[in-house]
Amino acid sequence: MRLLFLTMAIGLIATGTMTAQAAAAPAASAWQPATAPDARGFSKFVPFGGGSAIGRSSVQTSSTCLPCEYDHTLWTRQGGGADWRKVPLPAGGSTDVLAGTAPDDAWGFGRNDRGYFGAHHWNGSAWTDRTLPDVEILAARATSRGTVWAVGNYRGAGDATIPGAVARWDGAKWSLTQLPVQNHWTSLKALHVVSEKDIWAVGSTSERTLNGQSRPYAVHWDGSSWTEVTLPTVSALSGSANAVTTGADGEVWIGGIDRNPWADNGSGPPKAFALRRIGTEWKLTFVPAAQATGDESKDSLAVNALAFHDGQLLAGLTAHESKKQALARWTGTVWEPVSGPGAGSFADVSALTSTADGTLWATGLHAPRYQYKGYAASLAPGAGVG
């Protein structure tokens, strides 16, 4: 009898321990992977809502990267139950940036195969060249069938001064704004459109000097003009803002990387930062690197994307593949790791996009990233992140 009670007691203790461990572990992720039409997955993906989307699959065709060469294929889908349809590439293959509102209203931007910047519109049957000369587009957002906002930099002024650039397509033509930064190289990498009178764009700017370091840079559109927004100093290191979003209460979040340009300066590895503005006050936070090793190459971390889902702020990350650290959630006081959407081997999160029905989409690349094998996954409204 004593043996029976002892066995039961040990079992209860073990069960209690396992229950406590299970309760402490992150919940299973509710991310749903999108079935790609190609085994290479998606290197780029833009959801339109209702299951419609445009995506790009890629494969490296060169044995070296001087530079790397890739073969790209475009796909569109009309509705979640429809088959993917292969779409011809625009002239020169300018698809580094994708945007649009529907499978018959898509945009492709980027360098073509001769090094020229291109912009093309797809109407469901053919591409039309809408290139804006000398403008490198690094991010774009279509807010309607007749309106597209695009940001990047302007190269027409020569190498001494390369200003940041914002372009707007009104359904018939582009209008271009060159940001007034003198003797700087400024580049905008991300934008967030709240309304036609409330738009944020972020990137970096650096003085054109021998050891000029970049700093995070932000501008805001109020419906009539673009104004630089002064950001607090992240550190004395070189940094860049890569993502921006806004909350329902008007708070603004900007994320990026505070990078270390010299490995031996004792300043530590590149850090993932996030700036939060409520009213006119900014607060700086950092996303902690998991299991720091002291190795510069393995401990570096960057914020690529920011988005709200069910009122929770998520940050898409790039980390060393050994970290398996691709997504973080803001608790209100600190950043905590949550389950990433990539299936199988480690994958980063390079983009987070919300559709009108509240679904959040994530896109990223599996390690090794140079192979460009990617994924897209969705998180339904009300579904836990994990």
CATH number, domain with residue 242: 2.130.10.130
Domain annotation covers residue 280: yes
Mean pLDDT (whole number) for 247-272: 78
Mean pLDDT of 203-228: 84
In 290-381, which ranges are continuous DSSP H helix? 296-299
Q: In the chain, how long is the greatest CA-to-CA distance? A: 90
On the question of pLDDT at 344 being above 70, the answer is: no
- pLDDT score of 29: 61
* Cis ω before 368 (30° cut-off from 0): yes
Token pair recorded at residue 36:
């790609």
Whether the per-residue pLDDT at 24 is higher than 80: the answer is no
Look at the block and give the residue holding tokens 């530079």: 67
Q: Give the number of C-alpha atoms closer than 13 A to the C-alpha of residue 111, restricted to the C-beta side.
A: 7
Q: Whole domain around residue 254: which residue ranges?
A: 31-379
What pLDDT, on the 0 to 100 scale, is given for residue 16?
A: 38
Please report whether residue 109 resides in a domain: yes
So what's the pLDDT on residue 160? 65
Q: Which of 11-20, 176-185, 201-210 has the lowest mean pLDDT?
A: 11-20
The residue-averaged pLDDT of 329-342 equals 91
Confidence of residue 36 (pLDDT cuts 50, 70, 90): very high
* SS3 state of residue 201: strand
- Does 347 reside within a domain? yes
pLDDT of residue 211: 56
Tell me what pLDDT residue 112 has. 67
Query: Residue 249: exposed, middle, or buried by beta-carbon count in 10 A (0-12, 13-18, 19+)?
Result: exposed
What value does the mean pLDDT of the chain take? 85
89 domain residue, yes or no: yes
pLDDT computed for residue 115 by the predictor: 67
Confidence of residue 261 (pLDDT cuts 50, 70, 90): low
pLDDT, position 10: 32
DSSP secondary structure of 237-248: SEEEEEEEEE-T
Q: Is the pLDDT of residue 2 over 80?
A: no
Dist. CA 50–CA 180, nearest whole Å: 41
Domain count, the chain: 1
What is the tens place of the pLDDT at every residue in 360-370? 999 999 888 87
Q: Is residue 11 part of a domain?
A: no
Q: Residue 19 pLDDT more than 80?
A: no
Report pLDDT digits (tens) over 309-329: 999 999 999 998 888 889 999
Within a domain: 19: no
Q: What is the mean pLDDT of residues 204-220?
A: 78
Kindly state the percentage of the chain with pLDDT values over 90.
Answer: 61
Bigger pLDDT: 210 or 323?
A: 323
**Is residue 8 scored above 60 in pLDDT?**
no
pLDDT score of 95: 94
In this predicted structure, what is the pLDDT of residue 164? 94
Domain-located, residue 143: yes
Q: Which residue has the tokens 């069910």?
A: 310
The Cα angle at residue 257 between residues 364 and 320, in degrees rounded to 5:
50
d(CA 364, CA 374): 6
- Would the pLDDT of 380 be above 90? yes
In a domain, 25, yes or no: no
pLDDT at residue 366, rounded to an integer: 87
Please give the model's pTM, rounded to 2 decimal places. 0.89
Residue with tokens 């700087």: 184
Contacts of residue 61, Cβ cutoff 8 Å, sequence gap at least 6: 69, 70, 71
